[in-house]
Structure 1
Amino acid sequence: MREINLIVIHCTATRSDQPFTQANLERSHRERGFNGIGYHYYIRRDGSIKSTRPLDKVGAHARGYNAHSIGICYEGGLNALGKPADTRTEWQRHSLRVLLLTLLRDYPGCKIVGHRDLSPDLDGDGVIESHEWLKSCPSFDAGKEYSSLK
């Protein structure tokens, strides 16, 4: 079994007014050269949680962090105009929280971050600030929102 110390939250960076199915996600990742979906879990707008990669298999979701992390992606992340926005539905918020609590029971002590929080600290001040993000994903502050989960 892999040693897991990080849970990384992602979004599909797709518009909130357009569905992005699991099949769409699979096709998108294969087109990028991945061997299937790179995330371990996918949360659809209706809150359904799809297991998309076995936890014992290294993910393909956060370069440099895949070996010791679990990747979770939610459908959305862009508003109807295509701009980054927290588009999570009430059901997605609930399902993501339940999934995180479950994973933390199995992998205690994991740090929860958003993909954007793994961007390089360009000015070296120890904080990844918004001007340093390589991506806006997941379009909300995952580390702050889930910091109280144990």
Structure 2
Amino acid sequence: MRKINLIVVHCSATREDRTFTEHDLEVCHRRRNFDGIGYHFYIRKNGDIKTTRPLEKIGAHVRYHNSGSIGICYEGGLDSRGRPKNTMTVWQKHSLYVLIQTLLKDYPGCKVCGHRDLSPDLNGNGEIEPEEWIKECPCFDVREFMNNYKIEN
């Protein structure tokens, strides 16, 4: 098994008023000459977690970080006009939190971040700021989400 030290959250960059299935995602990635879906997991709007790539297989989801990472993508990420927006449903939030907690049990010590957090630190201050993001994906602060999410009883 490969060494995992990073869990990266993405959005599919699709509009909140449209459906984008795992089949649609596969077609999109194959058109980009990927060997199937680049993410290891895909979370649908209803919260269903789809395993889309074996964990043993290196992902194709974030340049320079694929070999030691697991990629998770949620369906959505754009408003109905195509602008970046956190469109996660209650079910997606729950599934994302539980999935990451489960992965952290299997891969303790992993760093958890959003795709945007792996952008280059252009000013060299040790922090990736919004003006340095290559893209806004996943349209929310993953660390803040993980620190503040509460499972409702």
Shorter-normalised TM-score: what interval? over 0.9
Once the two structures are TM-superposed, the CA of residue 146 in structure 1 deviates from its matched residue by: 1.6
Q: SS state of the match for residue 80, structure 2? A: coil
Once the two structures are TM-superposed, the CA of residue 147 in structure 1 deviates from its matched residue by: 4.3
Once the two structures are TM-superposed, the CA of residue 144 in structure 1 deviates from its matched residue by: 2.2
Q: SS state of the match for residue 71, structure 2? A: strand
Q: SS state of the match for residue 8, structure 2? A: strand
Q: SS state of the match for residue 103, structure 2? A: helix
Are residues 1:95 and 2:95 paired? Answer: yes
Per the alignment, residue 131 of structure 2 pairs with 131
State the percentage of identical aligned residues: 62
Matches within 5 A, 1:17-96: 17-96=17-96
Once the two structures are TM-superposed, the CA of residue 81 in structure 1 deviates from its matched residue by: 1.3
Once the two structures are TM-superposed, the CA of residue 41 in structure 1 deviates from its matched residue by: 0.1
Deviations 1:116-138 (A, max 9, x none): 00000001111100000001000
Per the alignment, residue 106 of structure 2 pairs with 106
- The one-letter amino acid of 2:77's match is G
Aligned mates of 1:102, 1:80 — CA distance in 2: 32
> CA separation of 1:63/1:69 partners in 2, compared to 1, >3 Å: closer, same or farther?
same
- The one-letter amino acid of 1:140's match is F
> CA separation of 1:148/1:4 partners in 2, compared to 1, >3 Å: closer, same or farther?
farther
Aligned mates of 1:44, 1:72 — CA distance in 2: 11
1:6 touches 1:69 (CA, 8 Å); kept in 2? yes
Once the two structures are TM-superposed, the CA of residue 91 in structure 1 deviates from its matched residue by: 0.3
Q: Tell me, which stretches of 5 or more residues in structure 1 are unaligned?
A: none
Query: TM-score, with normalisation over the residues of structure 2?
Result: 0.95
Q: Runs of 4 or more off by more than 4 Å in structure 1?
A: none
1:112 touches 1:147 (CA, 8 Å); kept in 2? no
Per the alignment, residue 143 of structure 2 pairs with 143
Aligned mates of 1:40, 1:26 — CA distance in 2: 12
Once the two structures are TM-superposed, the CA of residue 145 in structure 1 deviates from its matched residue by: 1.7
Aligned length: 149
Aligned mates of 2:15, 2:143 — CA distance in 1: 23
Aligned mates of 2:95, 2:88 — CA distance in 1: 10
- The one-letter amino acid of 1:13's match is A
Q: SS state of the match for residue 30, structure 1? A: helix
- RMSD (Å), alpha carbons: 1.1
- The one-letter amino acid of 1:120's match is P
Per the alignment, residue 5 of structure 2 pairs with 5
Aligned mates of 2:39, 2:63 — CA distance in 1: 12
